[in-house]
Amino acid sequence: MPLSWYLLVAAVLFSIGLYGVFARRNAVAILMAVELILNAVNINLVAFWRYRTPESSAGMAWAIFVLVVAAAEAAVGLALVISIYRNRDSVVAEEMDLLKN
């Protein structure tokens, strides 16, 4: 199976995730989309590792790093969303414009 197919899948996932970041109202949904992006990136990483330098464990380590960071970041993000919800009683990203101007 050629490398480009895996890259294509990753790109498609990335785009879907990107679209989700742009277009979802709910903050939690945006975070889910961010997860998608991160995972797409992960696929890219693994694909390149397997097809280019399979003997080095660098790619493998890196992918695990990304996974862990994604998880941590999702936890932090959700904690933020909960905090916002407690203050504003809403999770719609559009309404959070305190930094306006």
Which residues would be at the binding site for other proteins (CB under 8 A)? 18, 21-23, 30, 93-94, 96-101
Q: Is the CB of residue 93 less than 8 Å from the CB of residue 25?
A: yes
Closest C-alpha among 43, 29, 15, 31 to residue 70: 31
In whole angstroms, the minimum distance from the beta carbon of 22 to other proteins comes to: 6
Between 53 and 90, name the residue whose CB sits nearer to other proteins. Answer: 90
In whole angstroms, the minimum distance from the beta carbon of 93 to other proteins comes to: 6
Between 29 and 43, name the residue whose CB sits nearer to other proteins. Answer: 29
Between 26 and 53, name the residue whose CB sits nearer to other proteins. Answer: 26
In whole angstroms, the minimum distance from the beta carbon of 71 to other proteins comes to: 21
Beta-carbon count within 10 A of 21 CB: 16
């109202």: which residue's tokens? 25
